Amino acid sequence: MADAPRGVILEGQRSENAMYALVEIKGKQYKVEKGSLIKVDLLGEKAGQTVEFDTVLMLSGEKTPKIGQPYVKGAKVKATVGESVKGTKLNVLKFKRRKGYHRNQGHRQKYTLIKVNEITG
């Protein structure tokens, strides 16, 4: 489960008539539905806490979608913070040919899993 790309919905039902929202979390945009578990960049909250995001860019699933300029007024996404996980290891290699110069460094991005409880708006 921890190896899924950033923002991929790991759990939850996808249906055509389900209400979904486009929400901005830490400068990145995610498509969320009620009950979905998504992986976002590391949040400062502890596991089990409830967080609320009011930076909703778009709401859909009702008669017509609501599009914000830049955000939809009164729309909120409530979610529960899950565990913190690390992504897959990336190798950062610097190399200059014929100079004997090569540096190898690894990096693992930290993520937080959040479960969407409610979308209001």
Bond into 70 cis (ω within 30): yes
Report pLDDT digits (tens) over 63-102: 789 999 999 999 999 999 999 999 999 999 999 999 999 9
Query: For residues 49 and 66, what is the distance between their CA atoms, to the nearest angstrom?
Result: 28
Stated pTM of the model: 0.80
CA 61 to chain centre: 20
Query: For residues 43 and 67, what is the distance between their CA atoms, to the nearest angstrom?
Result: 26
pLDDT of 107 reads: 96
Angle subtended at Cα 38 by Cα 85 and Cα 118, rounded to the nearest 5 degrees:
130
pLDDT over threshold 60, residue 1: no
